[in-house]
Amino acid sequence: MTDFRRSRRASNLALSEIVRISEAARALRAEGRDVLTFGTGEPDFPTPGPVIEAAHQAALNGETTYPPTQGTPALRKAIADSAGFAADPGQVIVSTGAKQVIANAFLATLDPGEEVILPAPYWTSYADILTVCEAELVAPKCGAETGFKLTADALDAAITPKTRWLLLNNPGNPSGALYSKADLEALAEVLRANPHVWVIADEIYEHIAFDPFTSFRNAAPDLAARTLVVNGASKAYAMTGWRLGWGIGPVPLIKAMVAVQGTSTSGASSISQAAALAALTGPQDLLAERCAAFRARRDMVVSALNAIPGIDCPEPGGAFYVFPSCTGLIGKRRPSGELLETDADVCDYILSEVAVALVPGRAFGLPGHFRLSYAYSTDDLTEGLSRIARAVAALT
């Protein structure tokens, strides 16, 4: 019998470090440990009641057949109308999550060996999608000294004749970095001098911004013909399990993405589309209320982490993550005497010692840090931060 052989594009794929840490935490929980997991980016708020009611009514009304691959006309119109910049339904694609939107775009445009600029730290799935596409990741390091943001000079230095895309996540995962209008305008000036480079603006955390948010489309409207804005219902409306995201871009790109999507999932769930329509067209008061709750959690988490010797936590401008430096802990020893040599060692120690799951910065392309998601209850965060402080205090 012939042994199983992976394809070349799948040969370097594995479960992300985020998933592996979650599974390690689950194993400890199965042993009876009281584990707190701050590794996933999932709001702890419920999906709004009217959204659930709309989905239920859609099912009762028989909206359970195949939807159009590009998305239902009603939802695409609502997305265009709520975008915050000029758009029409023909420029919108609806997918099973924002991740699929990005995968569709890359699969529709990238040939092997072409390059995508992905500022580090970056969300792990971006790099995995590029691996599947057999494209090259170019990851300029964007540390705390620049607020974890890509500068115009760094972008200019990263562009080559093989560059096809810049992928910009704003606000950012894992850092929470929020690009100002001036930041985006400076990047746009570089892009104007490089017309072969297109832009994916992943703005999934748009409504979780603690300072004014500017869409890349509004900062550089003249680049609309080579810009894809990605967004979705998951974060703002606490609809992660509904798997519903969308992209807004030039029609030729959207048509190519629809063709790619037609070979995989076809249209996103009809019931999820009805739910997202209700979310976008219903009352929006909860967005500000939930953003305020995340801001309060951010302030508490940043203050508590900065009170721990060896941890330096910048204040993020959006999303629901902090990305503190743990370099002050590297070189210390566990109570057992074992040396902490990397950020992964630090996270492993905190998980094993006090049952708190964090994700090391190396998973996001920027070692020396860890990501903590504060999309959890205040009680859990308070307990988890106390445990982290206790674990650090035990180091020598």
Tell me the per-residue pLDDT of 195-223, one tens digit each, with 9 for 90 and over: 999 999 999 999 999 999 999 999 999 99
Model pTM? 0.96
CB 320: neighbour CB atoms within 10 A? 28
**Confidence band of 1 (pLDDT split at 50, 70, 90):** confident
User: Phi and psi for 77 in degrees, rounded to 5?
Assistant: -65, -45
Q: What number is the average pLDDT over the span 105-120?
A: 98
For the record, the structure tokens of 284 come out as 């929006």
Judged against a pLDDT cut of 80, whether residue 238 lies above it is answered with: yes
> Is the peptide bond preceding residue 121 cis, with omega within 30 degrees of 0?
yes
| pLDDT range class, residue 244, cuts 50, 70, 90 | very high
- Stretch 150-166: mean pLDDT, rounded? 98
Residues 260-292: tens digit of each pLDDT: 999 999 999 999 999 999 999 999 999 999 999
Confidence band of 22 (pLDDT split at 50, 70, 90) = confident
Residue 180 banded pLDDT, cuts 50, 70, 90: very high
Once rounded to an integer, what is the mean pLDDT over residues 121-148?
A: 97
Strand partners, 230: 202, 247
328 CB neighbour count, 10 Å cutoff: 16
CB 202 within 8 A of CB 234: no
Contacts of 195 (CB under 8 A, 6+ apart): 226
pLDDT for residue 36: 95
Residue 88 has pLDDT above 80, yes or no: yes
Q: What per-residue confidence (pLDDT) applies to 40?
A: 85
pLDDT in tens, 362-396: 999 999 999 999 999 999 999 999 999 999 999 99
- Indicate the residue type of 135: A
Domains of the chain: 8-45+286-393 (3.90.1150.10), 49-281 (3.40.640.10)
The confidence score (pLDDT) of residue 245 equals 98
Q: Residues with Cβ < 8 Å from 315, sequence gap 6 or more?
A: 298, 302
The mean predicted confidence, pLDDT, of the chain is: 96
Burial class (CB in 10 A: 0-12, 13-18, 19+), 346: buried
Write out pLDDT tens, residues 296-347.
999 999 999 999 999 999 999 999 999 999 999 999 999 999 999 999 999 9
- According to DSSP, the residues that pair with 42 across neighbouring strands are none
d(CA 303, CA 314): 10
Q: Choose the weakest-confidence range: 19-28, 70-79, 129-138, 180-189.
A: 19-28
**How deeply is 343 buried, as exposed, middle or buried, from its count of CB atoms within 10 A (0-12, 13-18, 19+)?**
buried
pLDDT of 17: 82
User: Mean pLDDT throughout 55-63?
Assistant: 98
Residue 51's nearest CA partner among 342, 340, 284, 331 is 284
- Work out the angle at residue 128's Cα, subtended by the Cα atoms of residues 325 and 22, and round it to the nearest 5 degrees: 55
Report which DSSP code applies to 2: P
Helices and strands, number each (H, E), in the chain: 13, 12
